[in-house]
A and B are shown apart, each in its own frame.
Chain A
Amino acid sequence: MTTSSLVEAADRSTVAPAPTPARSRRGAHPGRRWRRALTPVGLLLVWQAAAQTGRLPPEKLSAPSEVARAGWRLARDGTLGVHLLDSLTRAGIGLVIGGALALVLGAAAGLLRLGDDLVDPPVQMARMLPHLGLVPLLIIWVGIGESLKITLVALGAFFPIYFNTYAGIRDIDERLVEAARACGLGQLARLRHVVLPGALPSLFLGLRLALGAAWLSLVVGEQVNAQTGIGFLMMEAREFSQTEVVVLGLLVYALLGLLSDLALRMLERRTLTWRRGLQAR
């Protein structure tokens, strides 16, 4: 009796005021945000200064202004857009193939005992292979064309989504499923109202990890005989010693990762409002 009331009291105290301190702390130090920007901006300035004074040889590392100029030039003549679109297409197709496969197999292994027994062991074994190390084998299997890049991305995206689908389903509170059954929900309705929403936070995590793996796979894949894409842009620039374009390519890759993660986090926030229920009030 005493423990339960203590627990409840503790619950209440952690529940209500939790979101406020963080917000008020940020409000108390309005300069903090600017202070955090100090080092990156400073480093950029040092880089620029070192390049302009000639201490940094331009063929090793171009000045930030040179990189920006290259970006502007390639964006204006459309080159950047074309290559970016090709890279995005590869990542998109690979993600859809790998993700769909992972979702189906992960759900089968998570929901059905038979699926667990048949699917999970080989996936667990395959997980130990570094998928980027498969490039030589994949070249023998699918050649050096588009299928290689897409296969690599699909492989990279598969594992995080598979494991998080599986874990998300397994972690659902069995008591909630039972309560839904007591409410008269059939198997399909339970999947829709309990299993899917219950596994969704885990699915989002899997998708975010998969995005990271997809970009990484793309970087590696596009260095093998690509005719288009950001990776091709970089390899071509290396041959002509255009360091600023190589750096630009790196920057584009980084931005792709950052923006996709941001977009996914926004989607997650809008979908999982119930998790922020306390703040939403």
Chain B
Amino acid sequence: MATRTTGTLSTATTRPVVTAREVRRSFGGTVVLDDVDLAIDPGEVVALLGGSGSGKSTLLRILAGLDPDASGEISRMGSQAVVFQEHRLLPWKRVADNVSLGVTGGGVRERVAAALAEVGLADRGRSWPAELSGGQAQRVAVARALVREPALLLLDEPFGALDALTRLKMQTLFGRLRAEHNFAALLVTHDVDEALLLADRTLVLDGGRIVENAPVPLTRPRAADDPGFGPVRRHLLGRLGVQSGSDRGSAS
């Protein structure tokens, strides 16, 4: 915790998978992002925390190249894939066709089957999205991202719309996939525990700026009831403007 620095780039030895410089975005007169700098190294999981309306989803959309009206400089290395909060599967395509959407190159069918098997839905390729539960649909969305073999996975509150139990399972799944494929990830979330469980580094976005940029000082494997969680969680919640965080911290 003593090594915590604010608002600076991480000192990278390898070339980052994405680098953003002086990213600005305003809607009407409201400035949502104000000179944000950010870099993510290969294989690094970065959690982007912030209250609602802090611009974290906006930043993710800019990094994904989905916001033409933002200014700033983005350079990307390697491929990207996005998982949104809603599964966003096309209802008129079967699960396998949703996963293979836009995928080019040889052996697409085999790759799709492999991706579906990895999220535990090997037998649902012929299903329609409407036949899936919320958790299953979100796993298909993860498979749709995986099949692109991304160097960087952008996740916009990917488990936010799921029930608590499903969310825990999805977090475990994410940890396993991340260990197997070694992709870098930017995880936008408002859940401090989720960030501490999954991320190597946390960013806190407030008032359009990154006010906190620190590695997570916890060894893997992690569990939410580790004694080390308390102080870090308290600190991050304080950064997010939640003062009652001390109660939760001492409780665990």
Name the distance in Å between B65's Cβ and chain A's nearest Cβ: 8
A5 close to B (CB within 8 Å): yes
A262 within 8 A of B: no
Of listed A15, A179, A198, A200, residue having the most chain B CB within 10 A: A179
B128 touches A11 (CB 8 A): no
* Interface core residue of A4, A176, A182 (most chain B CB under 10 Å): A182
Would you list which residues of chain A between 225 and 281 have a CB under 8 Å from chain B? 272, 274-275, 277-278, 280-281
CB distance from B229 to the nearest CB of A (A): 19
Q: A176-B88, A274-B92, A277-B130 are in contact. Are A182 and B82 (CB under 8 A)?
A: yes
Which chain A residue shows the least CB distance to B133?
A: A12
**Contact status B86-A182, CB under 8 Å:** no
Query: Which residues of the partner chain B approach A194 to less than 8 Å between Cβ atoms?
Result: 90
Contacts of A272 in B (CB 8 A): 92
- The distance from the CB of B127 to the nearest CB of chain A, in whole angstroms, is 8
**B131 close to A181 (CB less than 8 A):** no
CA distance A281 to B102 in the complex (A): 27
Interface set of A (CB-CB < 8 Å, partner B): 1, 4-5, 8-9, 11-12, 15, 175-176, 178-185, 189, 193-194, 197-198, 200, 272, 274-275, 277-278, 280-281
A-B interface, 5 closest residue pairs, ranked by CB to CB distance from nearest: A277-B128, A5-B163, A179-B88, A183-B102, A197-B92
Residues of B within 8 A of A189 (CB): 102
Task: With A180-B102, A274-B128 as known contacts, state yes or no: A5 contacts B164, CB within 8 Å.
Answer: yes
Most buried by A among B66, B92, B148: B92
In the bound complex, CA of A273 to CA of B144 (Å) = 22
In the assembled complex, the CB of B88 is this many whole angstroms from the nearest CB of chain A, namely 4
Tell me, rounded to whole Å, the shortest Cβ–Cβ distance linking B18 to chain A. Answer: 14
Q: Does A1 contact B163, Cβ atoms closer than 8 Å?
A: yes
Contacts across chains A and B counted by CB atoms under 8 Å: 74
Q: Known contacts being A176-B90, A274-B91, is A184 close to B128, with CB within 8 Å?
A: no
A182 touches B163 (CB 8 A): no
**Which residues 55-111 of B sit at the A interface, judged by CB distance below 8 A?**
64, 66, 81-82, 84, 86, 88, 90-94, 101-102
Q: Which residues of B contact A (CB under 8 A)?
A: 64, 66, 81-82, 84, 86, 88, 90-94, 101-102, 127-131, 133-134, 144, 148, 160-164, 166
If A182-B66, A184-B102, A193-B101 touch, whether A8 touches B163 (CB-CB below 8 Å) is yes
Minimal beta-carbon separation of A94 from chain B (angstroms)? 30
In contact, B134 and A8 (Cβ under 8 angstroms): yes
A115 CB to nearest chain B CB (Å): 21
Q: 16 extra interchain contacts, Cβ-Cβ under 8 A, other than A180-B102, A274-B128? A: A4-B160, A11-B134, A12-B133, A15-B131, A175-B88, A179-B88, A181-B66, A183-B102, A183-B144, A184-B102, A193-B93, A194-B90, A274-B91, A274-B92, A277-B127, A277-B128
**Are B102 and A4 in touch, CB under 8 angstroms?**
no
Known: A179-B84, A180-B90. A274 touches B163 (CB 8 A): no
Asked whether, in the complex, the Cβ of B130 is within 8 Å of the Cβ of A8, the reply is no
Q: Measured between C-beta atoms, what is the minimum distance from B151 to chain A in Å?
A: 14
Pull 23 A–B residue pairs with CB atoms less than 8 Å apart, ordered by A: A4-B160, A4-B163, A8-B166, A176-B90, A178-B88, A179-B90, A180-B90, A182-B82, A183-B101, A183-B102, A184-B102, A185-B101, A189-B102, A193-B90, A198-B92, A272-B92, A274-B92, A274-B93, A274-B128, A277-B128, A278-B130, A280-B128, A281-B131
